[in-house]
Chains A and B, each alone.
Chain A
């Protein structure tokens, strides 16, 4: 099995890489696992994106053209689940695996075998979820929020599989988060003090904390759905003394911190990239750290802003409205600090910086619509319309996904040892930027005009805008093929990258050669 003698014999000066596919199956190397996560997440992004294309195709024109309503609902549901749990979260975990040990001067993640396990259960979870689409009765069709009793009493047979696949995703996230926390607490190079840690490490530390706090709650929620459906419990059934709204409280207690799980690492990435390309230290490092913490703490107090229409008592609505609004403050601090970092810097605009700049503007737009949603009386009009869909795609696609692309361009030379093709990357950026706005900006208007979300067909007045949105969607989807091209090209060769890669780069990850050796920092480095 893992031969002890063999491992002891590993020569640290020699870059020993195991060969063959068992390298990937058995690996305990944070860089290998990081790559696996990243590749997996890219595959999931394409699968989830393909489902989005089905959605956009059906919504291209009024009337039912391509799919049945029941199948449409499955597409919406699985698109949301795949993008959230399959694309964005694993991408961030992949980045954490690759970068955190390098950034803090650790030889690897703290618990390498568990790290492998966290990864390899994920493909299985999604295999289950995706194959449930082919079951009689179809896959999950109750939205990624799986509100009971639609997901319990009124759902199809595949629900049990859905529940268990979510359990596995949860286990994976929790183990991943434990690994990150332990690594950061215990594996920092001795001179890497807390307030010297790169912000990406800080934001991930907080993210991991959020994950540990809320993923188990999600597990509880799916478990109650399972027992309500199959074992006659009545958590969400008024006739038995339960309450369907209880489900929503539990779900959103998970769900809202979850959305910050998907944005805090992004903040960390942007906080790494902007100083590099502005050639100026990050403005307000300490306040960035405190802002991250405040966002995380506040995120536990705002969950019911997703439930304003459920008929909560007024005082509860007011409480959640105020707390939600407050989150704008620490988030604003971050935006202001980024702008201040650029101020009087000496900027260049390589692809990572372009994505970072787009992130700042477009995420803020998404944040503004979030703030509007927080205003309860107005939310009565916005809720469950395309205005909400516009909001969360701005924060998720032009937020989280853009940050991931920025990170990919930023660190690709470090990972592969080659510079990516800048010209192609700029093409990718501009195509994405234009098409993504064509895709998501008009959604604000159809939402305000009254188009509900999660419908396969709509009234005639929404027709023109939906056609436009669909075209934007197709273009954005095609633009992502450019991304794959750039990545594959870069992995296969090109101009050799230096250790520093970027003129303005700072931090331990830029001290090691490119590509980063299989084992880095087997002895801890000195932090300046």
Chain B
């Protein structure tokens, strides 16, 4: 609790949430129809709705954040307000952690339990003997019980480089943070730029790796549980890196415009937290998806 109470800023009204609601609606209806359109290989309106939704969402984000930035710059926000933002962001990241947990949980269950049972372990001797007598349980799952074959993505090489890239980017971002606190604008800009470059290199390499997986390794979404978890985990991580990088890019623009002070830089900090979180997810991913 703060000892001295400042007035808490409650915006009177805002059109942005309802715009955002319409955007999500369009995205959901659009995507829902679009997915069926591609499944049936027909042309429909789904894609257009989806596109319209995304555009609306972007407009909404711009408008909403412009309001927040304006309010923040004109000093409407109290210390208490910035604590609200911080708390909000931390709990949002917590929810993201749980989203990834669902997929990690699936991975662990599949590896440790389902695979073992398909191979006759636990109380499933008959599963193996009657249904999958030819199946050999091993991880990575290179040949599924149904007979689909694939190759594993090695942990060395590209993924290792990627790990290094992300780790370094976390460090450079940290330097940027110390720079902001000591009001070293030059260092701040440079370090942010490094972070961005590292982030985008990571993404490009990731795209390259996917192409390699699909083309050379036969490792696809459809190649069984290994492919499913591999692509869903790295894929959602990739989406988050993309988001994080876009956010950092806008933070970079704001830095160029001279926003943020050593005391007041919640926007920067939120983006940084997000980036560090995405890094930690990658570390877990690297260990559990690639190495082990």
Contact = CB atoms under 8 A, between A and B. Distances in A.
A219 B106 CA distance: 13
Given A178-B88, A234-B144, A240-B144, A227 B12 contact: no
B204 interface: no
B98 A217 contact: yes
Nearest to A22: B13
A106 B81 CA distance: 12
A124 B87 contact: no
A134 to B, nearest CB: 13
B17 A116 contact: yes
Interface string A334-360: 000000000000000000000000000
B232 A26 contact: no
B232 A121 contact: no
Given A232-B221, A240-B148, A128 B28 contact: yes
Interface residues of B, number: 85
A139 B15 CA distance: 32
Nearest to B102: A220
A121 to B, nearest CB: 5
B154 interface: no
A179 B18 CA distance: 17
A133 interface: no
B122 interface: yes
Interface string A224-264: 10110011111100111111011001100100000000000
Contact of B98 (A165, A214, A226): A214
Interface in A486-528: 519, 522-524
Nearest to A239: B146
Contacts of A179: 88
Interface string A102-113: 000011101111
Contact of B232 (A167, A188, A227): A227
A212 interface: yes
Given A178-B91, A241-B115, A242-B114, A224 B8 contact: no
Contacts of A448: none
Contact of A230 (B39, B95, B226): B39
Chain A interface size range: 35 or more
B106 A250 contact: yes
A390 interface: no
Contacts of A18: 12-13
B109 A188 contact: no
B36 interface: yes
A186 B80 contact: yes
B95 A234 contact: no
B222 interface: yes
A506 to B, nearest CB: 22
B32 interface: yes
A226 B22 CA distance: 22
B114 A250 contact: no
Contacts of B229: 235
B135 to A, nearest CB: 9
A425 interface: no
Nearest to A109: B10
Dominant SS at the A interface? helix
A181 B87 CA distance: 8
Contact of A243 (B88, B109, B131): B109
B70 interface: yes
A226 B221 CA distance: 13
B99 interface: yes
Contacts of B71: 4
A107 B14 contact: no
Contacts of A113: 11, 14, 16-17, 64
A85 to B, nearest CB: 15
Given A219-B99, A219-B102, A238-B145, A117 B232 contact: no
Given A4-B71, A190-B1, A524-B5, A107 B10 contact: yes
A125 B24 CA distance: 9
Interface string B27-62: 111011101100100000000000000000000000
A319 to B, nearest CB: 14
B28 A522 contact: no
Contacts of A401: none
B87 A108 contact: no
A171 B95 CA distance: 10
A371 interface: no
Given A107-B10, A127-B25, A522-B7, A26 B15 contact: yes
A249 B102 contact: no
B94 interface: yes
B8 to A, nearest CB: 5
B3 interface: yes
Given A121-B21, A213-B98, A7 B11 contact: yes
A213 B9 CA distance: 29
B91 A181 contact: yes
Given A116-B18, A160-B32, A233 B145 contact: no
B221 A233 contact: yes
Given A110-B88, A117-B20, A239-B146, A190 B5 contact: yes
B118 A238 contact: yes
Contacts of A246: 106, 109-110, 114
A241 B15 contact: no
A26 B14 contact: yes
A519 B12 CA distance: 11
A506 B54 CA distance: 48
A4 B9 CA distance: 11
Interface in A428-450: none
B256 interface: no
Nearest to A122: B21
A3 B12 CA distance: 8
A157 interface: yes
B141 interface: yes
Interface string B120-161: 001100000001100000000100111010000000000000
Given A28-B14, A111-B85, A182-B84, 15 more contacts: A4-B71, A22-B15, A26-B18, A108-B8, A110-B84, A110-B87, A110-B88, A112-B11, A182-B91, A224-B232, A233-B221, A241-B144, A241-B145, A246-B106, A523-B5
Interface of A: 1-4, 6-8, 10, 18, 22-23, 25-29, 106-108, 110-114, 116-117, 120-121, 124-125, 127-128, 157-158, 160-161, 163-165, 167-168, 171, 174, 177-179, 181-182, 185-188, 190, 212-217, 219-221, 223-224, 226-227, 230-235, 238-243, 245-246, 249-250, 253, 311, 313-314, 519, 522-524
13 contacts: A7-B11, A26-B18, A120-B18, A128-B29, A161-B29, A181-B87, A216-B101, A221-B102, A235-B110, A238-B132, A240-B223, A241-B225, A519-B10
Interface of B: 1-3, 5, 7-18, 20-22, 24-25, 27-29, 31-33, 35-36, 39, 63-64, 66-67, 70-71, 74, 76, 80, 83-85, 87-88, 91-92, 94-99, 101-103, 105-106, 109-110, 113-115, 117-118, 122-123, 131-132, 141, 144-146, 148, 220-229, 231-232
Which 10 pairs from chain A and chain B are nearest by CB?
A220-B102, A239-B146, A241-B225, A117-B17, A164-B28, A233-B228, A232-B222, A216-B99, A161-B32, A243-B114
